[in-house]
Structure 1
Amino acid sequence: MGWLRLAFLMYVGLTIIYFVTGIYSRSVRREKLEKEWDTDPAREGLTVQERSAFIEAGMVQYDKGLKKRLLWLIYIVPTIGFLVTIYFVNWH
């Protein structure tokens, strides 16, 4: 029964790490899009609404991309390690 408590606490911690990492990753991507817009001289005369549309389009593309899906490794890798450890401790 102790391993269930450990697994529960592990998933609580991993969930916190997942959300914090997701927020940080989105923040970094948004900042990169903002810098890309600001450094492009061809976009100097465009409006704030066009800038917002550009950033939101980039964020939609980010949400569908590989980096967003790779965040699930935060759950997968420790789970595999946990199960392998339980297996070797109990059956070898």
Structure 2
Amino acid sequence: MAALARMLFIGFIVLTIVYVCLSFYSRAVRRGKLEAEWDAAQGPGDRESFVRAGLQEYDGSLRRKLILGVYVIPMTAIGLLIYFTNFA
């Protein structure tokens, strides 16, 4: 039981690092797309406020929530693997 707890703890730490990196990467890509969109259209207002408003919209988007799958999918796979190995 202690080995399982240790494995889950280390797995959670690794998944947290992956989540943070993926989140920063996704936000940087979105920022780049917003900046390119503003450059192409020379939109109203200044560039920084346009990007800030776009990133606030991104924070509530489905894509941002889907990144949480980094936790759900591996933990579910490990749980199913342990269940089927021991009880099926």
**Category of TM-score, reference length = shorter chain:** over 0.9
Distance between the aligned counterparts of 1:3 and 1:84, measured in 2?
A: 14
Deviation at 1:71, TM superposition (A): 0.7
Distance between the aligned counterparts of 1:90 and 1:8, measured in 2?
A: 20
- How is 1:58-77 mapped onto 2 (pairs within 5 angstroms)? 58-77=54-73
Counterpart position of 1:31: 32
Q: Which runs of 5+ in 2 are unaligned?
A: none
Letter in 2 for 1:79: M
Distance between the aligned counterparts of 1:91 and 1:2, measured in 2?
A: 18
- Give every structure 1 segment of 4 or more consecutive aligned residues whose post-TM-superposition deviation is greater than 2 Å: none
Q: Which runs of 5+ in 1 are unaligned?
A: none
- TM-score w.r.t. the length of structure 2 is 0.93
Identity of paired residues, percent? 37
* Residue number among 62, 68, 84 corresponding to 1:88 in the alignment: 84
Distance between the aligned counterparts of 1:25 and 1:78, measured in 2?
A: 20
Deviation at 1:84, TM superposition (A): 0.3
The structure that has the greater radius of gyration is 1
Q: 1:52-73 CA deviation, whole Å, 9 max, x = no partner?
A: 1100000000000011000110
- Aligned residue pairs total 87
Q: Secondary structure at the match of 1:14?
A: helix
Counterpart position of 1:11: 12
Instruction: Kindly report the root-mean-square deviation, in angstroms, between the aligned alpha carbons of the 2 structures.
Output: 1.3
